[in-house]
Amino acid sequence: MRLIDLARVIRSKNAGPLHLTLDILFADAAGYDRAARSPALAAPAIASLYGVDPATVAVIPFPAAHALKVVLDRPIVAGSPGDADVYGAQQHRPLLGVIL
């Protein structure tokens, strides 16, 4: 199953100039549980998608909200030359192809 078919919301935003947050929200506990258990959303897999060190990725589960929050280092500091998305609002794109 594709993450995009299971999640209600997939979004990204800055967490300061050096980090991004990825929010993944689900409609129900069943969808959340399936995603939370999937190796495709573990820190090493996310790090590979975003080209960062796995040690810099934190996957934070919020079962009560049926949500996962991922915090990772930005590859380019927000606002620096070469940064194409100063707000971090378009950085969720790699998640759209994830298969659980």
pLDDT of 72 strictly over 90 = yes
pTM attached to this predicted model: 0.92
How far, in Å, are 3, 30, 71, 95 from residue 92 at the CA level?
Answer: 12, 22, 12, 6
Annotate 26-85 with DSSP letters as a single string: ESSHHHHHHHHH-GGGSHHHHHHHHTS-GGG-EEEEEGGGTEEEEEEE-SS-TTSTT-S-
Give the lowest-confidence range in 33-42, 56-65, 74-83. Answer: 74-83
Average pLDDT value for residue range 71-92: 91
Per-residue pLDDT of 22-59, as tens digits, reads 999 999 999 999 999 999 999 999 999 999 999 999 99
DSSP 3: H
What pLDDT sits at residue 84?
A: 87
User: How far apart (Å, rounded) are the C-alpha atoms in residues 54 and 4?
Assistant: 23
